[in-house]
Structure 1
Amino acid sequence: MLIARRADTRARADFATWKMLAKLNGASTLPPEAQNFLASYRKLLETMTEAEATEATIHLMYKSYYAEMGGGGTPPDVPARARKAVAEAGNVTAFRRAPARPTPGPSGPTAKPRLPVALIFACLVAVYVGIRYYWR
């Protein structure tokens, strides 16, 4: 069953990739095996709906991959995975704007005054020089 699951997953992934390449006019770069599967898919489209032709082609690929991966006999039926319901919004993913970053700190009369970096550095230098003179 493990070989069957792998073969089915590979067939679905390969078919989706090949189909996208064919839509982008890159089918000539595919291996001959892929071109043969796409040709059979186009023939099936003439007699079936797109969903049926897709499943039939994937099933043919699954049988081929199952035998190639060392599966013996007829390949078992792989149960379909439950898919999440997808809203019919087309092929577009809606992105949300990132939440606004919080302000760096409170400002106004209640805010604590911050020492400038130069003043802190000058104090550290004075402490260092004082310690050096004290030890000599």
Structure 2
Amino acid sequence: MPTKAADMLIARRADTRARADFATWKMMAKLNGFSALPPEAQSFLESYRQMLANQTEADASEATIQLMYKRYYAEMGGSGTPPQIPSRASEPPKDHGNVTAFRRPPARPKQAAPDAAAKPRLPVALIFICLAVVYVSIRMLWR
């Protein structure tokens, strides 16, 4: 039986929600927050712990996520049996080659001692004296 587009959309949402919830709940349980989780989360994590006794961590995680996915699919209004969503964990990440690593720009070399050919700078005191002379001369002209 072909899957409707609406059911496939619900299936993707349910799968995304199941994976996100499982990761969140698992992290909270590791941080000693198991008792603060809702009863639904606690029951899923208990079934996960039971599966860990017989399976590897990856297999137990995927099995728990599939249980959550089926429940979420039914809650979201999916009809019939939930369609199979390909596992994202088994897909290797694609290397697009368009990501550039951040590199610090090269440091500018420090300027050496001033050369004789460089333009000499006027000292601040000389500039102040020139401004004072101009001010006094303007005051004298206005009188």
Q: TM-score, normalised by structure 2?
A: 0.62
**Aligned Cα root-mean-square deviation (Å):** 3.5
5+ residue gaps, structure 2: 1-7, 95-100, 135-143
Q: Give % identity.
A: 64
The CA distance in 1 between the partners of 2:87 and 2:121, in whole Å, is 63
> Match for 2:53 among 31, 46, 49?
46
The CA distance in 2 between the partners of 1:73 and 1:115, in whole Å, is 88
The CA distance in 1 between the partners of 2:108 and 2:122, in whole Å, is 19
Q: Tell me by how many angstroms 1:37 deviates.
A: 0.3
Please state if 1:103 is matched with 2:78: no
Q: Tell me by how many angstroms 1:98 deviates.
A: 5.7
Q: Tell me by how many angstroms 1:4 deviates.
A: 0.7
The CA distance in 2 between the partners of 1:64 and 1:39, in whole Å, is 16
Aligned residue-pair number: 113
Structure 1, 43-52 or 76-85: larger mean CA deviation? 76-85
5+ residue gaps, structure 1: 86-95, 127-136
In the TM superposition, 1:11-90 aligns within 5 A as 11-81=18-88, 82-84=91-93
Q: TM-score, normalised by structure 1?
A: 0.65
Q: Tell me by how many angstroms 1:103 deviates.
A: 3.1
Query: What CA deviation, in whole Å up to 9, does each residue of 1:10-37 have, x standing for no partner?
Result: 1111111111111111111111110010
The CA distance in 2 between the partners of 1:6 and 1:12, in whole Å, is 10
Q: Which amino acid aligns with 1:26?
A: G
